[in-house]
Amino acid sequence: IYELQRETGQVSKKLYSLAGGPCREAVSFRGYIFKGYRFHTSDWEKQRKTQNNGIFVKGRDDDDHQEEPAIDFYGTLTEIIEVWYAGRFR
């Protein structure tokens, strides 16, 4: 990415920031709102009447040449970490 940026200048600021890796410091939260969706850790919700700490990630299934079937992931949100990249991207 760095070489492509130096030679052509055609790398977006976001991609260039991602290529540099995250900043060394991160912030941890018990709850977070992202694009209108509210997330809380399972530890924070233990004493609450309603809970919303379950996670579902659909396994990739758009590759016809896979030897193994796609595996969906189900889990519980135990930690929320916000990672920053150069250029204030997160």
| Closest C-alpha among 37, 35, 3, 26 to residue 79 | 26
44: alpha, beta or left? (left if phi > 0; alpha if psi -120 to 50): alpha
Q: What domain count does the chain have?
A: 1
User: Which of 2-6, 24-28, 75-79, 85-89 shows the lowest mean pLDDT across its residues?
Assistant: 85-89
Residue 55, domain extent: 24-90
Tokens of 87: 């250029």
pTM exceeds 0.75: no
User: Which of 39-43, 63-67, 86-90 shows the lowest mean pLDDT across its residues?
Assistant: 63-67
Tell me: pLDDT of 89 over 80: no
DSSP 8-state code for residue 89: B
Cα gap 35→90, rounded to integer Å = 13
Please report whether residue 52 resides in a domain: yes
Cα gap 75→56, rounded to integer Å = 7
Please report whether residue 57 resides in a domain: yes
pLDDT, position 64: 59
Please report whether residue 69 resides in a domain: yes
pLDDT, position 75: 92
Please report whether residue 15 resides in a domain: no
pLDDT, position 81: 93
Please report whether residue 48 resides in a domain: yes
pLDDT tens track for 16-30: 888 888 988 899 999
